[in-house]
Amino acid sequence: MLALKEKMSEKLSRLLGDSPSPVASPPRDHPQLNSYTKGPKTLSSFFTFIHPSTPINETEEDCKSVRSSRGRWRRSNSCSWRGVNMDDELECIPRDELAELSSPQNEYDSPVTARSTCGAEIFEDAVEPESSWKLMPNLTTDSSFIDVELYEFLQSSIPNIVKGCQWVLLYSTLKHGISLRTLLRKSAELSGPGILIVGDKKGAVFGGLLDCPLIPCPKRKYQGTNQTFVFTTIYGEPRLFRTTGANRYFYLCLTDLLAFGGGGNFALSLDEDLLRGSSGPCDTFGNACLAFDSEFELKNVELWGFTHSSRYLF
């Protein structure tokens, strides 16, 4: 058996030694490949020619260079790491490239998946609360009483002729002083419907719709139309009282008194110094007391008018 193996090895060596050079010979200017065509052919040179990437007699530095090039080729040309030993693969990748792969691409990237790991809320715009100017676009200045709820309520209650107009503050006790005469004089700046808004020191806000300018009468003579109304906020939300048709006592304007309604009581009355007032049930509007008490101390008084003019815009 051993003799047979030796004979086969001799015949194979002889056959390879007598075999011609490969048909597709390498270029003559390539020193490494030209060495395979010179001299007698051996079994080791034959296998070296077939698989030149794994030379038999190579130095340690050459081996490192070959493994490094193989690692780069695998990482750039392979679509998958399947079937590759990860420990061997990491040895083939240079340290600078390995550090680049392991480091995040940006502050939001994961070092493993290189994908964004931050929550979607990071990219959402901060939601800012809507300002009062956007919610009450027709209000030309701040008010002591008018909030968004009252604004929308009054905006839906005023006559159609002034809907969409700018709200102009004609008079305020905080800006113009405490005087009924001043209120009457300031009401002459605009003509048309106006809203009187008052508040007591217990937190109630109430008032009514009347006509501007306010013209005081020497005698008790009522003015206004059936569009006049009164309102209050003491019920937790604004409530409106329109005319019932029982009488035509819409509002009364004197030099020392301003009052809404009649028939039993004034729905709302203010004295000449705008410090005190009163309210009670009346037939004109069919209302109950508009304030928490029938007699109250005034905190502030405002008179608002309506206009399309831009000169009142700030």
Tokens of 139: 């209000």
* 275-313 residue pLDDT tens: 999 999 999 999 999 999 999 999 999 999 999 876 655
Cβ contact 23:37 at 8 Å:
no
R_g of the chain computed on alpha carbons: 49
- Helix and strand tally (H, E) in the chain? 10, 11
DSSP letters, 64-83, are HHHHHHHHHHHHHH-S--TT
Cβ contact 211:170 at 8 Å:
no
CA distances from 41 to 6, 13, 53 (A): 19, 9, 19
CB-count burial class (<10 Å; 0-12, 13-18, 19+) for 225: middle
Helix (H, G, I), strand (E, B) or coil at 295: strand
Is it the case that residue 79 has pLDDT exceeding 60?
Answer: no
Q: Report the range of poorest mean pLDDT among 12-16, 46-50, 192-196, 309-313.
A: 46-50
Q: Which amino acid belongs to residue 125?
A: D
Quote the pLDDT of residue 9: 74
Cα–Cα distance for residue pair 70/133, rounded to 1 Å: 69
Quote the pLDDT of residue 312: 55
Cα–Cα distance for residue pair 17/159, rounded to 1 Å: 116
Query: Bridge-partner residues for 296, per DSSP?
Result: 277
* 141-191 residue pLDDT tens: 889 999 999 999 999 999 999 998 999 999 999 999 999 999 999 999 999
Q: Measured over all CA atoms, what is the biggest interatomic distance in the chain, rounded to whole angstroms? A: 150
Q: Which amino acid belongs to residue 284?
A: T
Q: Are strands 251-253 and 222-223 parallel, antiparallel or unpaired?
A: antiparallel
CA 2 to chain centre: 89
Can you list the alpha helix ranges (DSSP code H) found in 140-269? Answer: 148-157, 173-176, 180-186
* 59-70 residue pLDDT tens: 455 444 444 444
This model's pTM is above 0.85: no
Cα–Cα distance for residue pair 211/228, rounded to 1 Å: 8
Quote the pLDDT of residue 209: 98
Cα–Cα distance for residue pair 262/257, rounded to 1 Å: 14
Q: Are strands 192-200 and 257-260 parallel, antiparallel or unpaired?
A: unpaired
Q: Which amino acid belongs to residue 103?
A: S
Quote the pLDDT of residue 213: 96
In degrees and rounded to multiples of 5, residue 151 shows phi and psi of -60, -50
Cα–Cα distance for residue pair 195/312, rounded to 1 Å: 17
Helix (H, G, I), strand (E, B) or coil at 42: coil
- Which residues have C-beta within 8 Å of that of residue 208, sequence separation ≥ 6? 195, 196, 228, 229, 230, 231, 251, 260, 267, 268
